[in-house]
Amino acid sequence: MSIDDIFKISGAIIASVGGSALLIAGFSTWLGKVWANRILEKDKLKYTSELEAIKSELQRESERQKVTFSLYFEGQFKLYNELWIALSELQNEVDKLWESASNENLKSFIKAVQKAKKQIRNSAILIEKTHYEKILQNLNSFENYKFGKERLIVSRNISNLASYEIDEIVRQNQQFRTEITEFTQFMLEHMRNQIKGS
């Protein structure tokens, strides 16, 4: 065996080993990419699935809150409507009693006050706190108006009462009536705003 033959055999061995190494390296790279893509797809599918579950849960929660709000709003709308009817009837009785201070109108006014108080108590849970407090504060004006009209009715039956005393009672009643009317208008505006959602 000559040196040339040794070099040829050695070159052939190195070339075959190098070619195999190149083939193995190429195959390993390709196989690594395939596995990486499979793992990536698997993770992508997992995260997409988790994201969809979270979206679904958020949508269910959003729908639940919408339904809850809708029920609250409908209940509040109904109660505000009933409360407004009671306050409106009460305002009508105030006006009737102003026009004619009679025992019959006074009794009708007292019934309207009692009905409004009952409606306010029944509606308290869904009435906004500020509106509830404002209504309670202004019930005193209704009570004062009632007492003023009672005094006027009694005073007109007393013959020795001076006209300036009766005029003073009428003036006080006018003041209470004005407070009641202003309160009714205030509540009308605020109830409208509440219903509109502003």
pLDDT of residue 13: 62
User: In this prediction, what percent of the chain has a pLDDT beyond 70?
Assistant: 81
Number of structural domains the chain divides into: 1
Q: Residue 103 has which token pair? A: 């025992």
pLDDT of residue 153: 75
Provide the CATH number for the domain around residue 140. 1.20.120
Render 91-106 in DSSP notation, one character per residue: HHHHHHHHH---HHHH
Task: Domain of residue 77: give its range.
Answer: 3-196
Q: pTM (2 decimals)? A: 0.54
Give the amino acid at 142. Answer: F
